[in-house]
Amino acid sequence: MTGAAPFAWWLLGGLLLAASRPWNPVVVLAWAVPWAVGLVLVRRDAADAWRGALASPLARHAIVLLPGLLLAASIVAGPFAALTLSAWLGMLLLWTATRGPEALRGTIIGLALAGTLSALLVAAAELALAAPAIADRLGTPAARTRWEAQYDSLWTRNVLGLRSRHETLARRAGVRRIVALGDSFTWGDKLASADSAWPGQLEQLLAAAGPVEVINLGQRGWTTANEGEMLRRLGWQFTPDAIVWQFFINDAFESRPDFGRDGEDWISVLPARLRTYPIGRSATIYLVDRLGNQLLRGQDAASGYGPLYRRDSAGWRQLEAALREAADSSRRRGIPILFVLFPAFVPGEWTAESYPLRSYYAQVAEAARGAGLHVIDLIPRFAAAGGDWRRWWALPWDSHPDAHAQRLAAEAIAAELRRVEADTGQSAPSGAP
């Protein structure tokens, strides 16, 4: 370890770190501190310590495992994380080398042992969490993948890619037509059959009065702005008698043209890289993320939603603009829009007044009414049903509405449709356009 070689090696490592990321103060601090300390330590003559430490066969075998730790860090967290970890490990080894061969040998073996034990613990956890009974209870990535196979796959056969049995723009004479807009609640997430989602159940309820089509334009993960774009680009082409537009608390994310949207990274304690394939398939990573979020937020269901609903936030401005645009189109066409506030099923027993997300839904209801839409607030209906709101969860690990919750929503929508149609004199189907 004498001479210019170690100095050049450590200098090169610092240059690689400096070039790997922009000059963000936090990023610089993450690697500059260990590198600067190591730059001093590497100039010290510790050759005897290294020779003495590596005289042990166990230490020689152990040091071979250290690159494996860096490779694992690179796979899980990215090359920059691996480079940063290498800087800290290098600094630690350089420092212990100044304390003699025994200290250096113990550090090398300890690091290798810690890495090996960590890998074994993760592997054991993955095996335990892979058991179907546990996976299905916790909703691990494997359980979610199995659930995807249970869907009816209507959208793969629908020419428009909709989870709907209807796909023709042309209307049949004498058939009433409703267009349903919304997110995963409308699409029917965690419901094997599209008929169990509220658009399907609404069609069943309205069919008693005559032929009807409820065309489901819902898409998982969409925002209100995305849905407004869908209405503008496709929804009106179906020439409906009414539009029913479902809203959920997370629909105020900032959106981009062509149905782009920001993700929900803010609700996770882990970076997005750890929640995408292939790392995102890890049941251990999923469980850490889930427990971390619960500890971070506790029982405060409203935590984190505040920034979305600031009056000056980009997402809120887009939501208001989408409502106003849709309302203007509705007035020009003489076609009513019913805007349905579908609550999040926060664990606990809630009244309409004590519901923890009430203020956000009230803000959206005010904006929708101000634009001229007919608002259906489902919070009082679910509150009146009583009991812990987890009773409406589709699965123990997923709070999307089950078929019973969807039925309650469909009944409320059907009743409001009848009232609106009676007020506007549009109860009869308008027939072919």
Residue 340 pLDDT: 99
Q: How confident is the model at residue 3 (pLDDT cuts 50, 70, 90)?
A: very low
Residue 6 pLDDT: 62
Residue 292 pLDDT: 72
Average of per-residue pLDDT across 102-127: 89
Instruction: Report DSSP letters for 164-220, one per residue.
Output: SS---SSPPTT-EEEEEE-SHHHHTTT-SSGGGSHHHHHHHHHGGGS-EEEEE---T
Q: How confident is the model at residue 288 (pLDDT cuts 50, 70, 90)?
A: confident
**Spatial distance between the Cα atoms of 4 and 72, rounded to a whole number of angstroms:** 30
Residue with tokens 């027993």: 349
- β-bridge pairing 242-247 and 176-181: parallel
Question: Residue 294 pLDDT more than 80?
Answer: no
Residue 80 pLDDT: 73
Q: How confident is the model at residue 177 (pLDDT cuts 50, 70, 90)?
A: very high
Question: Residue 277 pLDDT more than 70?
Answer: no
- Per DSSP (E only), the strands in 232-341 are 242-247, 255-256, 260-261, 337-341
Coil vs helix vs strand at 351: coil
Q: How confident is the model at residue 428 (pLDDT cuts 50, 70, 90)?
A: very low
- The tens digit of pLDDT for each residue in 214-234 reads 999 999 999 999 999 999 999
Q: How confident is the model at residue 43 (pLDDT cuts 50, 70, 90)?
A: low
Residue 301 pLDDT: 60
Question: Residue 361 pLDDT more than 90?
Answer: yes
Top pLDDT among 389 and 24 is at: 389
Are 252 and 309 within 8 A, CB to CB? yes
Question: Residue 154 pLDDT more than 90?
Answer: yes
Question: Residue 141 pLDDT more than 90?
Answer: no
Question: Residue 283 pLDDT more than 90?
Answer: no
Residue 219 phi, psi (nearest 5): -140, 140
Residue 258 pLDDT: 87
- The tens digit of pLDDT for each residue in 307-331 reads 889 999 999 999 999 999 999 999 9
Residue 95 pLDDT: 86
Residue 110 pLDDT: 92
Average pLDDT of the chain? 86
Residue 100 pLDDT: 86
Residue 273 pLDDT: 63
Q: How many residues does the chain have?
A: 433
Residue 433 pLDDT: 35
Are 396 and 137 within 8 A, CB to CB? yes
Average of per-residue pLDDT across 34-63: 78
Which residue segments constitute the domains of the chain, with CATH numbers given? 4-129 (no CATH), 151-264+302-424 (3.40.50.1110)
Question: Residue 404 pLDDT more than 70?
Answer: yes
Top pLDDT among 413 and 103 is at: 413
Residue 144 pLDDT: 87
Q: 175: closest CA among 421, 429, 425?
A: 429
Q: 107: closest CA among 99, 118, 91, 96?
A: 96
Top pLDDT among 222 and 11 is at: 222
**Spatial distance between the Cα atoms of 189 and 398, rounded to a whole number of angstroms:** 9
Residue with tokens 């420092």: 95
